A = this chain, B = another copy of it.
Amino acid sequence: MAGKVTIQDVARAAGVSPMTVSHVINAHPHVKDSTRERVLHAIDKLDYRVNVAARNLRTGRTGTIGLAVPEVDRPYFGQLAAEIITAAARRGFRVVVEQTGASRETELDALVLSRNRMYDGLILSTVGLGPADTELLRVDYPVVILGERIFEGPVDHVAMPNVEGASAATRHLIEQGARRIVMLDGAANDDVNMSSLRFQGYRQALADAGIAFDGGLLVELDEFTMQSGAAAVHDLVTRGIPFDAIFCVTDTVAIGVLRGLASEGIRVPDEVMVIGFDNIRESEFTVPSLSSVDPDHTTMAEKAVSLLMNRIERGSGASREEYVSGFHVVKRESTSRIAPA
């Protein structure tokens, strides 16, 4: 029953026109208080709810934005999603979460979906897209890319300080005495993806410290999971490669690494130090607790949503914005050779 009440019914019950009801619902001015009361009373009595589909059709807005992430159950993306949903809710927007599974195809699908006008805008936390896809991003609806750095992309972009953060993390390891630093990275195939940028930071820090880069210490992971982090450690140990620290491309990988080292009976940080990137919530609670680079996700999420809102409201005219978040290195037990109190 409640589902079938329309604005017409309310109008009839309140003795006004549908338009007046609409005005009341949308808080337009120029409605006499007594009239407003009557309408509200009728709405209440009939248990009227606006039909969002009809409103969407008429206004051309949906009040919904899309968020495309590889998987919400990865800690980093989960936390990002939570912050974005909160930031959007603050502005009266709902968020549809699409899982792209880190594949280029599905990320493009999300773009196309959004073109259906299903969403007012889209936040794309890319992984698979590369500079070759730049042209495909040249779409006529609001899009914000979050995370990866796509060189000269045609859309708004909120990026991480990948190079600088990775460099600082590596420098921290060096300062703590590490010399043979493994990097667990992804495929760094196009110079601008996350893996590649963090690798650049790593190399740069090594160079700055006068440490020669050893290709044998670079491990390319297929995916950024705890599983793959643990497996990589096992592999390194099995192959007998000596190392005294590991810089992990993400905290999730680092958690797997901590586990892998424990399984191998290697003590952290005494024998091997570990640092990650992202500072996810779990990192504070691992044993030992995990040092990490904190790129300030909260600000990034807030910025992404606010950029998107600007596009939605002001259209595609304005010039493209690029925001790179700040960062700081969070030093915890995993890189602290002085035993904690």
Contacts and interface: CB of A to CB of B under 8 A. Distances in A.
Interface in A215-243: 226, 230
Contacts of A94: 96, 98, 118
Contacts of A54: 57
A177 interface: no
Contact of A52 (B118, B140, B226, B262): B118
A56 B50 CA distance: 14
B287 A258 contact: yes
Contact of A73 (B51, B82, B95): B82
A1 interface: yes
A282 interface: yes
Nearest to A297: B73
Interface string A48-76: 01111110110010101000000111110
Interface in A74-127: 74-75, 78-79, 81-83, 85-86, 89, 94-99, 115-118
B57 A117 contact: no
Interface string A126-143: 000000000000001100
A171 interface: no
Interface in A274-303: 281-282, 284-289
A256 interface: yes
A234 to B, nearest CB: 13
Contacts of A95: 96-97
A79 B230 CA distance: 20
B81 A73 contact: yes
B72 A85 contact: yes
A96 to B, nearest CB: 5
A259 B289 contact: yes
Contact of A50 (B98, B116, B255): B116
A3 interface: yes
Given A56-B56, A81-B72, A82-B71, A49 B97 contact: no
Given A53-B53, A75-B78, A287-B287, 6 more contacts: A1-B140, A51-B117, A73-B81, A75-B75, A85-B99, A95-B97
Interface of A: 1-3, 49-54, 56-57, 60, 62, 64, 71-75, 78-79, 81-83, 85-86, 89, 94-99, 115-118, 140-141, 226, 230, 255-256, 258-259, 262, 281-282, 284-289
